[in-house]
Structure 1
Amino acid sequence: MVERNAVLERRRSPLQRLSAELVAGSGTQVSLREIPFLAQIGLRAEPGSPSAVALEWALTGALPGGVGDVTELSEDRHVLWLGPDEFLLIAPDEAAGGPDPARLTAELSTALGGLPGQVVELSANRTTLELRGPRAQEVLDKSCRLDLDLVSFPAGSALVTVLGTVNVILWRVEPDNWRILPRASFAVHTARWLLDGMREFV
């Protein structure tokens, strides 16, 4: 366990070198920070199939039922709808008391057994940016073609979209609290794009 903790302590997030810029570019109207190292497990199963039932049993909760849906398994574990048979399980960082992503992936794969479907550990694939504050939606409106009005995109919804020129998962956790998940290789570009859009509000 000591060795595992030492490994976790040596991790470097995609936006670690921008931490000072994120703080300097944030204010009371809108703020931006990275939430690194969240466990992210990709799930593939046809809704209503034995594969989906097996995953839901292992997750102790239902998979999202439609476009934009997010299932809350617990206070800190959620499953996002990405496509008709594609979902993303998100859980806290292992170092903060969350699950070991490799172990969780193995447990879900075992539950799936030989049934059609897929369980893939994707934690290093994306990082998570949190954009929050009363002006957060206005910042996103500059770069996202989705209708982000609260009626059209309510809290508890998530969609795959394009922010500027980057494909991201956009998740509205609360009315003024958004999580943006870009690929790790586009994280710096996405963060600086958002910081530029925040300038008039800070």
Structure 2
Amino acid sequence: MGKLSLAASAPLTGALPVRNGGMTLTLADPGPLTSVAPFAGQGPAVSAALKAATGLALPPTGQRVVSGDVALQWFGRDLWLLSGTEAPEMPAALTDQSDSWVALDLTGPRAAEVMARLVPVDLRDAAFPEGAAVRTELHTMMVAVARTGPETLRIMGFRSMAGTLVHAVSEAMETVVGM
């Protein structure tokens, strides 16, 4: 019997970037991803440990904070996502999410218009400024969306549905450009 060899492969090889009407959809590399769920009553201790290790404390609901290549994003009730670095020791359930998610950056002046066709959330600058984060549904897929720049939305979806996610956003880009 031969030896079985497995090798990691990048998601969406050849599918990106997608460019249309001044907008671009690209694959982002957020680095290591770790979900952080503080144990009961340990939120302040977890926040302090993260602050000491990364310079970032747990952000409030609906927010994302960044320091260099490291980001800490609200990811759900009593749940945050640390990206760009390994998680320090802390009183929390830590789960490596690196192989579970795909991160896409939608950039351009009409990015919020594109997403208006896909999610039931107002992602315009006035309602969703830089540093805002939300978990929502996009074509029956659960996604996380964060505003990472004035014209950039980071869309994170399950890696197993990456092709469907790119297809949905690409079609919405075509619709917006054709208007």
> Which TM-score band applies after superposition, normalised by the shorter structure?
0.7 to 0.9
Count of aligned residue pairs for this structure pair: 169
Residues in 1 aligned to 2:30 and 2:148: alpha-carbon distance in whole angstroms: 18
Residues in 1 aligned to 2:30 and 2:124: alpha-carbon distance in whole angstroms: 29
Gaps of 5+ in 1: 1-9, 92-98
TM-score (norm 1): 0.75
Gaps of 5+ in 2: 1-6
- Note if contact 2:131-2:148 (Cα within 8 Å) is conserved in structure 1: yes
- Note if contact 1:169-1:181 (Cα within 8 Å) is conserved in structure 2: yes
Q: Tell me which residue corresponds to 1:30.
A: 23
1:83 aligns with 2:76: yes
Q: Larger % of helix: which?
A: 1
Q: 1:149 aligns with which of 124, 148, 163?
A: 124
TM-score (norm 2): 0.84
SS at 2:126 equivalent: coil
Residues in 1 aligned to 2:151 and 2:166: alpha-carbon distance in whole angstroms: 18
The correspondence of residues 1-202 of structure 1 with structure 2, limited to 5 A, is 11-19=8-16, 22-23=17-18, 26-36=19-29, 38-45=31-38, 46=41, 48-64=43-59, 66-72=60-66, 74-91=67-84, 99=85, 104-105=86-87, 108=88, 111-112=89-90, 115=91, 117-200=92-175, 201=177
Q: 1:29-51: per-residue Cα shift (whole Å, max 9, x none)?
A: 21111124631111111564334
Please state how far the C-alpha of 1:58 moved relative to its aligned partner. Answer: 2.5
Residues in 2 aligned to 1:59 and 1:47: alpha-carbon distance in whole angstroms: 18
SS at 2:83 equivalent: strand
